Amino acid sequence: MKAEFTAIIDEAPEGGYWAICPEIPGANGQGETKEEAKESLRDAVALILEDRLEDGLRGLASGVVRETISVE
């Protein structure tokens, strides 16, 4: 699955950079460089979405249909 999200990146007062994703509450990252902060944020977004998927599937009946949709 490929999706695009917004990364807000700013310099951290103590040095390096921090990043947040406004579409995914709680997703944040940090790094010594902008690229490291983006990678850290990318990992956080992936973990949060994976957790939400597992949460949403928990307890569903065995006969449900599971398909993929695309959003543009």
Which distant-in-sequence residues (6+ apart) come within 8 Å of 48 by Cβ?
24, 26, 27
Query: What's the pLDDT tens digit per position in 16-54?
Result: 999 999 999 999 999 999 999 999 999 999 999 999 999
* pLDDT of 39: 98
Span 48-70, mean pLDDT? 92
**Sheet with 17-20, side-by-side order of all strands:** 8-11, 17-20, 28-31
- Identity of residue 40: S
Domain ranges (residues) in the chain: 1-72
CATH class of 1-72: alpha beta
* pLDDT of 1: 60
| pTM of the model as a whole | 0.85
User: 12 pLDDT exceeds 80?
Assistant: yes
| CB contact at 8 A, 21 and 46 | no
